[in-house]
Amino acid sequence: MDKFVIEGPTPLQGTIPISGSKNAALPLMAAAILGDSPTTITNIPKLRDIYTFNNVIRVTGCRVDFDEDDGRLTIDPKNLTHLEAPYELVRKMRASFYMLGALLGKYGEAKVSLPGGCAWGPRPVDLHLDGMRAMGAEIDLEEGYVLANAPEMMEGGRFKLEPSSVGATVNLVLASVLRAKEFTIENAAKEPDVVLLCKKLSEMGANIEGIGTSTLTIRGVDSLKGAHIRNASDRIETGTFMIGAAMHPQSNVTLENVDVDDLGHFPETFRKTGVDMDINGDSIHIKAPEKINPTSIETAIYPGFPTDLQAQWATMMTQADGQSSVTDTVYYDRFSYVPEVVRLGAEMNVKENTVRINGKTTLKGASVMSTDLRASVSLVLAGMVAEGKTDVLRIYHLDRGYEDLEQKLTNVGANITRATQEE
Expressed as residue numbers, the domain containing 306 is: 2-19+233-420
Digit-coded pLDDT (tens) for 278-326: 999 999 999 999 999 999 999 998 999 999 999 999 999 999 999 999 9
Catalytic annotation, pick one of 29, 64, 85, 118? 118
Do 43 and 192 have their domain in common? yes
Same domain? For 279 and 325 the reply is yes
Average pLDDT over residues 252-276: 97
Residue after which a domain boundary falls, among 198, 214, 230: 230
What is the C-alpha separation between 285 and 46, in angstroms, rounded?
25
Instruction: Write out the DSSP string of 164-213.
Output: --HHHHHHHHHHHTTTEEEEEEET----HHHHHHHHHHHHHT-EEESTTS
Same domain? For 237 and 198 the reply is no
| Radius of gyration, CA atoms only, the chain | 22
Taking alpha carbons only, the member of 214, 227, 217 closest to residue 182 is 217
Separation CA 417–CA 423 (nearest Å): 18
Same domain for 267 and 244: yes
373: pLDDT strictly greater than 90: no
The CATH number of the domain holding residue 237 is 3.65.10.10
State whether 275 and 214 are in the same domain: no
Average pLDDT of every residue of the chain: 94
Position 47 pLDDT exceeds 70: yes
CB 230 within 8 A of CB 262: no
Of residues 85 and 34, the one with the higher pLDDT is 34
Could you please report the per-residue DSSP string of 110-152?
A: EEEEPP---SSS---SHHHHHHHHHHT-EEEEETTEEEEE--S
How many folded domains does the chain comprise? 2
291 and 385 inside one domain:
yes
Q: Does residue 132 share a domain with residue 269?
A: no
Mean per-residue pLDDT, 353-378 = 92
Q: Are strands 388-393 and 367-369 parallel, antiparallel or unpaired?
A: parallel
* pLDDT tens figures, 79-112: 999 999 988 888 878 788 999 999 999 999 999 9
**220/327 Cα distance (integer angstroms):** 40
Give the pLDDT confidence score for residue 374 in this predicted structure.
Answer: 78
pLDDT tens sequence across 313-361: 999 999 999 999 999 998 877 899 999 999 999 999 999 999 999 989 9
Whether residues 214 and 246 share a domain: the answer is no
Give the residue numbers of the binding site for phosphoenolpyruvate: 22-23
β-pair type (2-8, 388-393) = antiparallel
Known binding-site residues equal 22-23, 94, 123-127, 308, 330
Helix locations, 248-385, DSSP H:
266-271, 310-317, 338-343, 373-385
d(CA 416, CA 113): 38
Q: Pseudo-torsion of CA 46, 51, 52, 54, nearest 10°? A: 130
Respond yes or no: is residue 62 known to be catalytic. no
What is the per-residue pLDDT across 375-416, written as a single tens digit (0 to 9) for each? 889 999 999 999 999 999 999 888 888 999 999 999 999 999
Among residues 228, 173, 227, 219, the alpha carbon closest in space to that of 197 is found at 173
183 and 297 fall within a common domain: no
For residue 122, what pLDDT is reported? 44
Residues annotated as binding site for UDP-N-acetyl-alpha-D-glucosamine?
Answer: 94, 123-127, 308, 330
Q: Are residues 340 and 313 in the same domain?
A: yes
- pLDDT above 90 as % of the chain: 85
- Taking 50 as the threshold, does the pLDDT of residue 121 lie above it? no
Q: Which of 230, 261, 293 is the last residue of a domain?
A: 230
Q: Are residues 136 and 241 in the same domain?
A: no
Q: Is the same domain home to 209 and 271?
A: no
Of 230, 253, 269, the residue at which a domain comes to its end is 230
* Lowest mean pLDDT across 127-131, 266-270, 400-404: 400-404
